[in-house]
Structure 1
Amino acid sequence: MKQERKWIYYLGLVLVAALWGANFGVSRKAMETFDPILFAFLRFSISMPIFFLLLYLKEGSIRIPVKAALQLAAIGLVGVTGLEIAVLYSIKYTTLANASLLNVAPWPIFAALFGPLFMRERMTSRLVVGGAAAMAGVCLIILGGAEGFDLSSENMIGNLLALGVSIIGALYNLACIPLMKTYSALRVSTWYIAFGVLFMFPFTLGTWSKVEWSSLSFGSYASIMYNVLICTIFAFIVWNASMFRIGAARANFFRYVVPASAVAAGYFFFDEQVSGWQLGGTVFMIAGLVWISFEKKESQASFSRKKSA
């Protein structure tokens, strides 16, 4: 991969992670109107026909072989239905700081550990050092907030769910990589979201009648559109395409931008305070990610040769 071309994919990862982080604030406002699972269902179900339209216009067909469809159904069940519900309930049963830390920090580690099961992707010393610095930074960002980290017994269910999100999320990301060697990121995203929507629908039964649809505000519609157009359609395509080019282990460390962006959103939109520890953590995180991004050309070339061997 050419050095100048590589930066496009790193920029895509940072942009998507920042948009996902800002969505914490957007979704928090939306939760005042919508049941959490219903809101997640609206996000993915509205985006689904747009994905299929884009796929048809770009590639001329939407078909997928039965074998790949079964694989994508499993990915959709785990990576959309299961992951979204687990995230929501981890937030419900533990503190926001606990959920943020356990959802995000271990994810890249599990991606690196499980990576050899799905692809030939080696861990370099640069990735280890940069990843460690970025993880230290994200821990400071989350723990430097008002809530801190609470290991009390009443939070244990939520803590375990949040840790499970990291494991499930890493596996779901990695499972997409082999399919994207045959099909485009757009085709893979379209179909696993479609299956995820199908499996999520039963969990929304009984919640539709609780929403006063006739009196929804502009803000409610805006939050849905932000989630559909920006956080789902744009974000999933860019993230999957960038992850395929950069490598899952390396790309997943860029998820550490999410909590930093969420803290920034809280500061600008909800007047939440930012501590010196959080600012210091942001510096650590950025330094780690920049260190990962400046991987030598020889390492990239060596990695490419090993993949083609």
Structure 2
Amino acid sequence: MSKQWLNYAGLILAAAIWGSNFGVSRLAMETFDPILFTFLRFSLAIPFFLVLLKLKEGTIGISFKAAIQLAAIGLIGITALEIIVMYSIKYTTLANASLLNVAPWPIFAALFTPLFMREAISSRLIAGGAAAIAGVSLVIAGGSEGFDLSSDHMLGNLLAFGVSILGALFNAASMPLMKQYSALRVSTWTIMFGALFMFPLTLGTWGKVSWGTLSAGSYAAVAFNVLVCTVIAFVLWNASMFQVGAARANFFRYVVPAAAVAAGYLLFDERVTAWQMIGACCMAAGLIWISMESSSKPRKFEM
């Protein structure tokens, strides 16, 4: 298997992890406040990032200029983005939130990336992306909830659409820094700043949790979010995204809702419809078509 196929496999695995976390997080929300749970996910991951960074690279520091940049990226991509995701789900249907969170993201990534990096947009990318968009739309809208654009959900719809804008900007802005620092170092400092900005928003929620009576499932949900969804998936995504480019990589986010549907089927016995199966096949075909494009000289990159 070529190095480029490994990069695409890394994107798919990271997106599948994040998609499966919808089901895990839904279970955790029965115990934790959403913002507190998100803060625990990122703050508890910081020691693991720092140890890995120290062992692998010998140092953990960054320049003052990079710190300012990563503070802004962490505020946008961790603090603001994760909170908006939660409230978009609260104020609209899951189908609306899933579709509006994910579908426009690669389009905005393609628009924002030229502001930070030089990336070519090929006809293969456009065609494969269109097929993937159609597929993910069927995966989400083909579910039992459908897609509802009623005025009652307008606030949630706008928030969900904002997720795509902020998320694409977050990805594109991270790319130049990964020419200077490793994906591990960029991920570490982005998450540190994001957790720092998120902490004040958790005040008043800690006392609502019965810490002494937490179940094994609650601890498992936290551990999965910290170690798998944050430490492993973030570094894997950033490293793979740097190699294939932000515009191309972000189409692989369409694996997220498909994995979320699979998690709902396995954890909550949610029905999978024929339209969703057709959509998954269409999405997979589009992503395979994108990944088959011959790549230019790979970027020099250190994990």
Q: TM-score, normalised by structure 2?
A: 0.97
Structure 2: how far apart are the matches of 1:268 and 1:77? 34
Q: How does 1:42-61 map to 2 (within 5 A)?
A: 42-61=40-59
Structure 2: how far apart are the matches of 1:64 and 1:109? 31
Which residue pairs with 2:269 in the alignment?
A: 271
Which residue pairs with 1:114 in the alignment?
A: 112
Deviations 1:83-117 (A, max 9, x none): 00000000001110000000000000000011111
SS in 1 for 2:45: helix
SS in 1 for 2:44: helix
SS in 2 for 1:221: helix
> Between Structure 1 and Structure 2, how many residues are aligned?
299
Which residue pairs with 2:147 in the alignment?
A: 149
Which residue pairs with 2:228 in the alignment?
A: 230
Query: Could you tell me how far 1:268 is from its partner in structure 2?
Result: 1.2
Q: How does 1:183-194 map to 2 (within 5 A)?
A: 183-194=181-192
Which residue pairs with 1:15 in the alignment?
A: 13
Which residue pairs with 1:86 in the alignment?
A: 84
**Which amino acid in the other structure matches residue 116 of structure 1?**
P
Query: Could you tell me how far 1:296 is from its partner in structure 2?
Result: 2.3
**Which amino acid in the other structure matches residue 47 of structure 1?**
A
Q: How does 1:288-307 map to 2 (within 5 A)?
A: 288-297=286-295, 300-301=296-297
Aligned match of 2:174 in 173, 176, 180? 176
Structure 2: how far apart are the matches of 1:154 and 1:198? 34
Aligned-pair identity in percent equals: 70
Structure 1: how far apart are the matches of 2:47 and 2:265? 35
Which residue pairs with 1:216 in the alignment?
A: 214
Structure 1: how far apart are the matches of 2:46 and 2:12? 24
Q: TM-score, normalised by structure 1?
A: 0.95
Structure 1: how far apart are the matches of 2:294 and 2:34? 44
Which residue pairs with 1:307 in the alignment?
A: none
Which residue pairs with 1:127 in the alignment?
A: 125
List alignment gaps of at least 5 residues for structure 1: 305-309
Which residue pairs with 2:134 in the alignment?
A: 136
Structure 1: how far apart are the matches of 2:269 and 2:293? 38
Which residue pairs with 2:95 in the alignment?
A: 97
Which residue pairs with 1:29 in the alignment?
A: 27
Which residue pairs with 1:244 in the alignment?
A: 242
Which residue pairs with 1:201 in the alignment?
A: 199
**Which amino acid in the other structure matches residue 217 of structure 1?**
S
Structure 1 stretches (4+) deviating beyond 2 angstroms?
A: none
Query: Could you tell me how far 1:230 is from its partner in structure 2?
Result: 0.3
Structure 2: how far apart are the matches of 1:85 and 1:214? 27
Deviations 1:253-290 (A, max 9, x none): 00000000010111111110000000000000000000
Query: Could you tell me how far 1:190 is from its partner in structure 2?
Result: 0.3
Query: Could you tell me how far 1:122 is from its partner in structure 2?
Result: 1.2
**Which amino acid in the other structure matches residue 149 of structure 1?**
F
CA-atom RMSD in angstroms? 1.0
Which residue pairs with 1:63 in the alignment?
A: 61
